[in-house]
Homo-oligomer: A and B are copies of this chain.
């Protein structure tokens, strides 16, 4: 068995946690798998898997080697596909990471559009608001909102989303309208949970800048839930235009203090720079950066 083949089998063993399962899947006998792993270990001089007849546990070295192995296999598949002239067809798996709310509201449908355009592709959309996950987790592309960008990756700014103050018409007629920044202090201010707990918002107009201390007793770490709260007239609050822009347009929400600006939020496409980016990743990056610009409420950047 080829080294490449052995590495493939090894990675399947790691993923399935079993020699025989990997053997069945790869349509070889179990002893063959056994010998493959043994030969890999012999070549490396390191034990990759601790196996105690009925349990397979990966060792530290094994885990590390598995990471690299997966990467090499991907590269190899790409190289072969390209040489065969199959890479023009955008095929293969594509892992995209994005914030939950942005994903639910926009990226989800964009991915579907992408797949309609490139049916041979395979997309795995991973929605999470965690900050640590970034590209190291194995994603090919990530959408990031705001300033805190992961280090050691390429970040391409593709748009800016203004932040707007909104409330529902019902809420306003019930609780009173908001004409000046200082009016905000006496309202119930809804916020996204988990970010700065600082109850201060900043507004600017021309050379004028004010900060207002706001108060509220509800926050939620889910954008769509926050959006729903605004619609339901629970309170007033700020949100990026991509989250509430359509509601303002349809009249379900009212934009407040529209002559004032709030700090806006940048939209970045983040990805690993590879010398030889697979075709599907290149295509997807340009597709997304093109289409995200068209999202309602975003201002085109560049």
**Chain B residue at smallest Cβ distance from A87:** B64
**In the complex, per-residue mask of A81-110: 1 if CB is within 8 Å of any chain B CB, else 0:** 011110000000000000000000000000
Contact (Cβ within 8 A) B275 A71: yes
- Number of chain A residues whose Cβ lies closer than 8 Å to a Cβ of chain B: 40
Selected from B46, B154, B156, the residue in CB contact (under 8 A) with A84 is B46
With contact pairs A274-B274, A275-B71 given, residues A65 and B83 touching in the complex (Cβ less than 8 Å)? yes
Please, which residues of chain B bring their CB within 8 A of the CB of A4?
2-4
Is A21 interfacial (CB 8 A cutoff)? no
Once the chains bind, are A275 and B135 in contact (CB under 8 Å)? yes
Q: Are B79 and A75 in contact (CB under 8 A)?
A: no
Residues of B with C-beta under 8 A to A64: 82-83
Closest approach, in angstroms, between the C-beta of A81 and any C-beta of chain B? Answer: 10
Contact of A273 among B5, B68, B80, B152 (CB under 8 A): B152
Q: Is A15 an interface residue (CB 8 A)?
A: no
Contact B79–A65 (Cβ < 8 Å): yes
Q: In chain B, what residue has the closest Cβ to A5? A: B3
Q: Does A44 contact B (CB under 8 A)?
A: yes
Specify which chain B residues have a CB less than 8 angstroms from the CB of A65 in the assembled complex: 79, 82-83
Count chain B CB atoms within 10 A of each CB in A3, A65, A68 and give the residue with the most.
A68
A78–B75 alpha-carbon span in the complex (Å): 14
Check if A69 is an interface residue, CB within 8 A of chain B.
yes
User: Could you show 6 A-B contacts with beta carbons less than 8 Å apart?
Assistant: A2-B4, A45-B84, A67-B275, A68-B82, A72-B76, A138-B275
